Amino acid sequence: MNTHDKDRVLIFDTTLRDGEQAPGASMNEKEKLEIAHALDSLGVDVIEAGFPVSSPGDFNSVKSVAKHVKNSIVCGLARSVKKDIDAAADAIKPAKRGRIHVFLATSKIHLQYKFKKSEDEILQMAVEAVKYARDRAADVEFSPEDASRSEKSFLYRVLEAVIDAGATTVNIPDTVGYSVPVQYGQLIADIRNNVPNIERAVISVHCHDDLGLAVANSLAAIKNGARQAECTINGIGERAGNASMEEIVMALKTRQDFYGCTTGVNVKEICRVSRMVSKATGFIVPPNKAIVGANAFRHESGIHQDGVLKERSTYEIIRPEDVGFMETGLVLGKHSGRHALKERLKGLGVDLNETQLDKAFERFKNLADKKKEIFDEDLVTIVEDEVKGGRDIWGLVSLKTVSGTNVKPQVDVVLKSKGKTFKSASSGDGPVDACYKAIDAVTKTKGELLDYSIQSVSRGKDALGEVTVKVKFKDRNVIARAASTDILEASAKAYVNALNKVLVS
């Protein structure tokens, strides 16, 4: 029997596994570990860290997360075959608390076209997989893949059998995002009423957003007795994505009067973790995204503005500070000292050692010479840009560009490596293209630019521009970013950062 508060919803975060399956969202081991630490601080109950058998990189990432995470359960995914379960068990072995998550499809369409097996054969495979997993770990979760399109009578049989075999959590995936809230909520109620031993396991839900209903379906399931929600930061994931963690958590918190449930999430950390995941994946959070979008707490309508000024609750059901949303407030100027910077960064949840603070302060002073007003967002960006870097092979020294209407862009680049400087000049279709060709010439590499985006970090004509690039070097795709008040400098630094990622990993 699983013992936990019947009104507590466990948050199972799969950003590092299902979220990473979003096209172009690949993260390296260092980024995964940083996000795992952030999720642990956020207070999620379970971190699904990856699919260990899928690659040596995924195995090592799960093992690294298992070694370093202090509070959350660390989970590895496995198909219902022994080699998958062995890999998951070995990867989570260092964890204080580990879980093996076994899955097997149960819908007729999957049985007919994917497995070509009968229901009885699938049932036997599921039971054997769970029993084998229980020999390797005390905490086993089972997912009947495509459960929302499975025959209910067969689904009940499978769930009863895997619980008898030792599954401590049974997950009901809406694998293709086909469900609607009323039907999905009823499915959970029917499972509770028709699976005799269901009280011995936690019912979990895992919803995809193909019809934009992942969060609504998850909440309908919780209303009907599910007590674990599987979700991702910013709702990232394959196809249209997964249920958004921040939306589920804040819906339960804001409408506790209706759902009667709580979570263990430290909601003040939500925006910080959202930004971290956005940076690691290169997926910019849409401004109208609930909870963490830039416009989530902005009011353009005069009537709304007037109401908020008089009483915030007239048009705001969540306070920005509740989820760690940074106010765009002026914080520091060019005459601010090192101590003031350190204290302000602490207030933003950034604690630096002396070496890191020295680097951040130098960058801050350089920025203050270019920018009259420095905002919280600027501070966070320059710290992430400068301090969080690894062992760089190449660094940008200087950049000179000539471009304009009816002028062929020309760029001179000076890079440094191992104490030496290297120069190159190139022309191109535009200044960014010319710049990247010059960098390729200096470093003797050839990068293919797959994606490029730029956004302002804060307001004003002198705002920092943050450039995100996705670059392919031979068979590796990497995402990197950099910020500067000069967007061409930011573009060059982002490209060099991408190259460094390949060279040092």
Q: What's the CATH number where 467 sits?
A: 3.30.160.270
Q: What is the pLDDT along the chain (505 residues), one digit of tens a residue?
A: 344 578 999 999 999 999 887 766 778 888 899 999 999 999 999 999 999 999 998 999 999 999 999 999 999 999 999 999 999 999 999 999 999 999 998 876 656 656 567 888 889 999 999 999 999 999 999 999 888 888 899 999 999 999 999 999 999 999 999 999 999 999 999 999 999 999 999 999 999 999 999 999 999 999 999 999 999 999 999 899 999 999 999 999 999 999 999 999 999 999 889 988 988 888 888 889 999 887 776 544 444 445 444 555 555 678 888 887 765 444 566 677 778 778 777 776 677 788 888 888 888 888 777 776 677 777 777 777 665 555 678 999 999 999 888 899 999 999 999 889 999 999 999 999 999 999 999 999 999 999 999 988 777 777 788 899 999 998 888 888 888 888 999 999 999 989 988 887 6
Q: Burial letters for 430-458: b for 16+ Cβ neighbours within 10 Å, e otherwise?
A: ebbbbbbbbbbbbbeeebeeeeeebeebb
pLDDT at residue 302, rounded to an integer: 47
The model scores a pTM over 0.85 = no
pLDDT at residue 326, rounded to an integer: 60
Residues 230 and 361 in one domain: no
Residues 455 and 399 in one domain: yes
Residues 188 and 60 in one domain: yes
Q: Burial letters for 307-345: b for 16+ Cβ neighbours within 10 Å, e otherwise?
A: bbeeeeeeebebeeebbbbbebeebbeeebeeeebbebb
Going from the C-alpha of 502 to that of each of 133, 255, 446, 453, 478, the distances in angstroms are: 36, 46, 12, 20, 7
Provide the domain count of the chain.
Answer: 4
pLDDT at residue 365, rounded to an integer: 82
Residues 357 and 309 in one domain: no
Residues 158 and 37 in one domain: yes
Residue 2: inside a domain, yes or no?
A: no
Residue 49: inside a domain, yes or no?
A: yes
CB 209 within 8 A of CB 225: no
| Span between the terminal Cα atoms of the chain, in Å | 44
Reading the block at residue 195, the tokens are 């699976």
Going from the C-alpha of 245 to that of each of 26, 214, 343, 362, the distances in angstroms are: 19, 10, 30, 37
For residues 212 and 231, what is the distance between their CA atoms, to the nearest angstrom? 14
Residue 290: inside a domain, yes or no?
A: no
Residues 368 and 305 in one domain: no
Q: What's the CATH number where 41 sits?
A: 3.20.20.70
Question: Alpha-carbon dihedral of residues 261, 8, 174, 40, nearest 10 degrees?
Answer: 120
Q: CA nearest 315: which of 336, 301, 331?
A: 301
DSSP characters over 53-100: GG-HHHHHHHHHHHHH-SSSEEEEEEESSHHHHHHHHHHHTTSSSEEE
Residues 54 and 172 in one domain: yes
pLDDT at residue 297, rounded to an integer: 67
Residue 187: inside a domain, yes or no?
A: yes
Residues 73 and 206 in one domain: yes
pLDDT at residue 233, rounded to an integer: 97
pLDDT at residue 299, rounded to an integer: 42
Residues 108 and 166 in one domain: yes
CA-based max dimension of the chain: 77
Residue 447: inside a domain, yes or no?
A: yes
Q: 């075959």: which residue's tokens?
A: 81
| Structural domain harbouring 460 | 395-504
For residues 130 and 111, what is the distance between their CA atoms, to the nearest angstrom? 19
Residue 286: inside a domain, yes or no?
A: no
pLDDT at residue 4, rounded to an integer: 56
DSSP structure class, residue 272 = H
Q: CA nearest 467: which of 444, 442, 446, 485?
A: 485
pLDDT at residue 303, rounded to an integer: 44
Residue 163: inside a domain, yes or no?
A: yes
Residues 142 and 276 in one domain: yes
User: How does strand 374-375 pair with strand 395-404?
Assistant: unpaired
Residue 287: inside a domain, yes or no?
A: no
Residues 128 and 74 in one domain: yes
Residues 380 and 306 in one domain: no
